């Protein structure tokens, strides 16, 4: 199986048009493509910077000409779970017609959409990408090719992968940025290429603040890794 990570801009997608006009983002939770009716039914999480922006975004989404149905399942502050039905877009039809399939949830923000698409062979992939170029703007950000053994391993250990992912998501923006800069500058190398003092100067905070941000992030990631290892051991024992 070939798995592509695609950064996509469709020109007939209501979600992309909405995130172009309003500061709102959508993350897919569940989706189903009805090829007979050429419609996509989706459940998504919509998140905006404020309640007002959320209302504006949902209003714009409902009024889009390619939107068939849009309804709120739940809503709290600046986040809502919504259900939608949209007309099949050119990109969806192209992927479907060339033997492709969605392999993971998609996210839409700032007028771009992140797709995870699978193909069974190189010819289907090449044909689909060539056709996508005619009516869409996209770039392939990542490409992986898995054999049956690797796919089985991924499926069997999906709980471990989820635990690690949730650990990464639990990092605050400050913790993540501190981690990234510290790693890029060689803080975790032996010997270290940078110090806490250097990092404090970079972020214009105290040495203590940098140390605390690193420690909090390390605890979260370590806890997630240990949880993943426990789940991995349980799977292997079973």
Alpha-carbon distance of 28 to 42, in angstroms, equals: 7
Least confident piece of the model among 1-5, 61-65, 157-161, 171-175: 157-161
Does the pLDDT at position 80 exceed 80? yes
Least confident piece of the model among 36-45, 198-207, 226-235: 226-235
- 84-109 pLDDT, tens digit per residue, is 999 889 998 999 899 988 877 788 99
pLDDT band, residue 238 (cuts 50/70/90): very low
Query: Where are the strands (E) in 107-238, listed by range?
Result: 107-109, 112-119, 136-145
Mean pLDDT of the chain, nearest integer: 87
**pTM of the full predicted structure?**
0.62
CB neighbour list of residue 155: distance below 8 Å, 6 or more residues apart: none
3-state secondary structure of 8: strand
Q: Note the pLDDT of residue 106.
A: 82
């Amino acid at each position: 199986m070939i798995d592509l990570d695609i950064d996509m801009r469709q020109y007939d997608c209501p979600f992309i048009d909405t995130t172009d006009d309003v500061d709102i983002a959508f993350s897919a939770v569940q989706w189903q493509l009805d090829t007979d009716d050429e419609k996509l039914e989706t459940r998504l999480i919509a998140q905006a910077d404020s309640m007002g922006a959320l209302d504006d975004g949902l209003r714009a989404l409902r009024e889009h000409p390619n939107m068939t149905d849009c309804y709120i399942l739940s809503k709290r502050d600046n986040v809502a779970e919504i259900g939608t039905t949209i007309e099949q877009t050119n990109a969806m039809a192209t992927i479907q017609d060339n033997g492709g399939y969605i392999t993971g949830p998609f996210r839409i923000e700032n007028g771009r959409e992140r797709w995870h698409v699978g193909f069974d062979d190189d010819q289907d992939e090449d044909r689909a990408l060539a056709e996508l170029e005619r009516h869409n703007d996209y770039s392939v950000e990542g490409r992986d090719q898995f054999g049956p053994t690797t796919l089985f391993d991924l499926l069997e250990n999906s709980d471990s992968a989820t635990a690690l992912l949730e650990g990464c998501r639990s990092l605050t923006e400050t913790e993540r940025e501190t981690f990234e800069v510290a790693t890029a500058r060689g803080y975790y190398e032996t010997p270290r290429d940078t110090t806490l003092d250097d990092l404090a100067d970079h972020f214009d905070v105290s040495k203590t603040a940098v140390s605390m941000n690193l420690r909090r992030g390390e605890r979260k990631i370590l806890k997630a890794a240990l949880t993943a290892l426990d789940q991995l051991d349980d799977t292997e024992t079973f």
